[in-house]
Structure 1
Amino acid sequence: MPSVKPRPPAPLYEQIRQLIVAALAAGEWRPGDALPSEAALAARFGASAGTVRRALDELTAANIVERRQGSGTFVATHAAPRQQFRFLRLVADDEARGFTRELLSCRRLRATADIARALGLRTSEPVIEVRRLLHRRERPVVLDELWLPERHFEGLSAEVIAAHPGTLYALFESRFGVHMVRAEEKLRAVAATPEAAALLRVPLAEPLLSVERLAYTYGDRPVELRRGLYHTSADHYLNELN
């Protein structure tokens, strides 16, 4: 039987990147906090400043940290203006900016098989379901449904959401210590159901864009499943490819 060759160790900068992410997951630095200087991190990890800089470059590219000229490196936060709509890619054709939010419901329920599978839960484990409309130009443009593991969001309620002035991701970050660092999306065209047509104020069977998003926190743990219906008659979905 042929022997299996051991996998070579990851490059040092990748090991340091993983150690920084582990420290973030453990809460050593919270969103918005400044990281130690490159020299301090180099001393901590026993590496050169150049190797630490390479690790921070990787984290910056992944939007986990951000560099601020003359100020240092900070943990990325959804409370920052340019991060608030990082995962919302609906762009107005008439350059209208911003959304208003209408909460439809927030309730506790048992995870269905597909929700449990996506979030790595047991079937029937408690989740929190949030339904809301996003409006632009005083018209609804997105019907959002999202599911969150209750064990990470205990105490989330309609009252808590209504009292928070910022985005949901900023609320999750500040109140529950859950920071969304990346997301995977699936898009397809669908026809508006009677309920969706009524809420989005469109004709029955109107074409809509269905966007299913699975968002992850540190350590690639899925912590939010979101399904949105987008009315794109006066908007388009923007995806920047590098």
Structure 2
Amino acid sequence: MPPVKPRSSAPLYAQIRQLIVAALAAGEWRPGDALPSEAALAARFGASAGTVRRALDELTAAHIVERRQGSGTFVATHAAPRQQFRFLRLVADDAASGFARQLLGCRRVRASADVAHALTLRTGEPVIEVRRLLHRRERPVVLDELWLPERHFEGLTAEVIEAHPGTLYALFETSFGVHMVRAEEKLRAVAATPQTAALLGVQAGAPLLSVERLAYTYGDRPMELRRGLYHTDADHYRNELN
């Protein structure tokens, strides 16, 4: 097969990066799969190994691929231990780690105007709504509500979620072929309503951290809108700025 020649005014490494992402979006390599060697990719794209390496460096920095010493480059996966809580930045002030999950509901609903706008859908288009609590130290610390376009998550039910031992993002990868590669978040302080206070075990009016997240798959396509209420008395929200 002749080399795939990128055609663009962008630098060659950027073109190769885009071609690799396009191949990932097309399902040529799945999360957890090994990518071809740098030499093989260089031959495929008609470029030098150094140019391919720079493209892979950028994909690594974006957490789309990961390098494993002595093993090669792999498609990043939310099933990997280091990636499981990549988008969940609630860090314990003590030694507590991980979360227990309590599913409150999973149902098919019509997208409200704001949900539809965030997910680039039509108002009223079917979405899957999931509600759950995350527990730490045997008490609830996060109330999550999330919405997913039904056409990409057909067959997602409470039974499917309960049967999956890992995170939701790992489930989305393995069962629906949707890999979340990046997310944007909006944070603000809110007061607990009586309904949320009852679920989180706090007083009505107690301060909570509201985190709205929009998660994207390849090609910057929004695939999940998530709104979480965080009880941060014994935890803090941690982010790294580069």
TM range (shorter): over 0.9
Tell me the residue number matched to 1:100.
100
Unaligned runs of at least 5 residues, structure 2: 1-7
One-letter amino acid of the counterpart of residue 43, structure 1: A
Tell me the residue number matched to 1:5.
none
Q: For 1:154 and 1:165, how far apart are their aligned partners in 2? A: 20
Tell me the residue number matched to 1:11.
11
Aligned with 1:188: secondary structure?
Answer: strand
One-letter amino acid of the counterpart of residue 108, structure 1: R
Tell me the residue number matched to 1:137.
137
1:27-60 per-residue CA deviation (whole Å, 9 max, x = no partner) reads: 0000000000000000000000000000000000
Offset of residue 147 of structure 1: 0.1
Q: For 1:123 and 1:241, how far apart are their aligned partners in 2? A: 35
Q: With structure 2 as the length reference, what TM-score do the two structures score?
A: 0.96
Q: For 1:10 and 1:151, how far apart are their aligned partners in 2? A: 34
Percent of aligned pairs sharing the same letter: 88
Aligned residues: 235
Counterparts of residues 43-62 of structure 1 (less than 5 Å): 43-62=43-62
Q: For 1:183 and 1:233, how far apart are their aligned partners in 2? A: 25
Tell me the residue number matched to 2:191.
191
1:105-162 per-residue CA deviation (whole Å, 9 max, x = no partner) reads: 0000000000000000011000000000000000000000000000000000000000
Offset of residue 241 of structure 1: 1.0
Tell me the residue number matched to 2:128.
128
Counterparts of residues 169-188 of structure 1 (less than 5 Å): 169-188=169-188
Q: With structure 1 as the length reference, what TM-score do the two structures score?
A: 0.96
Aligned with 1:179: secondary structure?
Answer: coil
Q: For 1:170 and 1:195, how far apart are their aligned partners in 2? A: 30
Q: For 1:15 and 1:125, how far apart are their aligned partners in 2? A: 35
Offset of residue 18 of structure 1: 0.2
Q: For 1:195 and 1:185, how far apart are their aligned partners in 2? A: 24
Tell me the residue number matched to 1:229.
229
Tell me the residue number matched to 2:3.
none
- Alpha-carbon RMSD: 0.6
Tell me the residue number matched to 2:5.
none
Aligned with 1:236: secondary structure?
Answer: strand
Q: For 1:19 and 1:89, how far apart are their aligned partners in 2? A: 31
Tell me the residue number matched to 2:91.
91
Q: For 1:132 and 1:68, how far apart are their aligned partners in 2? A: 34
One-letter amino acid of the counterpart of residue 31, structure 1: P
Offset of residue 95 of structure 1: 2.2
